[in-house]
Amino acid sequence: MIAIDSVLLDMTEWLCHKIQLLTGRTNVWLSVQLTNLSIIVYFVWVGLSFQILTVGTRIGVGLFCGAVLYVLTQTVFKVSIEASETNAYRRVANGLRNPRRVRDALLRISFLFMSIVLSYPFLTLYVRFHVNMALLGYWLIVLTTVVLYALACDPLPPCPAKLGVWLRGLVPARESATNLPPASTRRATRAGRQPPHPVSS
């Protein structure tokens, strides 16, 4: 599993670099957006679970959700995306690799293992027994796994987004096309003649 983890980490970093070159968004930004998506999936999953839980269990789940929100405000949402990206850029400029590559390896492998092993049971519950909570629970595991891999990557140095440059390049071309002289003037200029003067009334 360590070899598979290393290959997947390199592939994730390559994909994050391609996305950064195209959009200008780093793996840090992607990780935060995927974390937000996983939080939405988590609370939808909890909301659906409330329908089949007893009153005591619902109170326990509610307290657990409150604890999760508190932990998120103290960890993921405590540092802004800009500050995290600045720290990542500084680390890359100093030639240092992301410490999460080694520090979170066991956690990444655990979630990767769960994503592989639990895929068949969760999909069976969803397809055969139409248990929507099973599919949401599985996607929560997959999203967490992807976030862990994205967080362990290193961004490229700051660079202009190719997509943004391409979109900005369309604006002057459109303006120059609207400012062209009339077709008769362009034809006369190419033929070496003076363009016809407008007749005054």
Mean pLDDT check: name the lowest of 11-25, 49-63, 91-105: 49-63
Considering the domain boundaries, does residue 167 fall inside one?
A: no
157 residue type, one letter:
P
Residue 40 pLDDT exceeds 50: yes
Can you list the positions of beta strands (E) in the chain? none
User: What is residue 191's predicted lDDT score, i.e. its pLDDT?
Assistant: 53
Is residue 109 within 8 A of residue 17, CB to CB? The reply is no
Considering the domain boundaries, does residue 90 fall inside one?
A: yes
Determine the distance from the C-alpha atom of residue 149 to the mean position of all C-alpha atoms in its chain, rounded to a whole number.
12
Q: For 72-126, how does the pLDDT look when each residue is reduced to its tens digit (9 = 90+)?
A: 665 566 677 888 888 899 999 998 999 999 998 998 999 899 899 988 988 888 8
Considering the domain boundaries, does residue 164 fall inside one?
A: no
User: What is residue 153's predicted lDDT score, i.e. its pLDDT?
Assistant: 93
- List the Cα angle 114/120/126 in 5-degree steps: 110
In whole angstroms, how far apart are CA 176 and each of 98, 163, 169, 188, 194? 46, 21, 11, 20, 22
Buried b (16+ CB within 10 A) or exposed e, 127-152: eeeebebbbbbbbbbbbbbbbbbbbb
Considering the domain boundaries, does residue 173 fall inside one?
A: no
User: What is residue 117's predicted lDDT score, i.e. its pLDDT?
Assistant: 92
Considering the domain boundaries, does residue 180 fall inside one?
A: no
What is the count of structural domains for the chain? 1
Share of the chain above pLDDT 70, in %: 75
Domain that holds residue 72: 2-158
Considering the domain boundaries, does residue 192 fall inside one?
A: no
Considering the domain boundaries, does residue 184 fall inside one?
A: no
Considering the domain boundaries, does residue 14 fall inside one?
A: yes
User: What is d(CA 199, CA 182) in angstroms, rounded to the nearest whole number?
Assistant: 15
Q: Give the pTM.
A: 0.73
Q: For 140-164, how does the pLDDT look when each residue is reduced to its tens digit (9 = 90+)?
A: 888 888 988 999 999 999 888 888 7
51 residue type, one letter:
Q
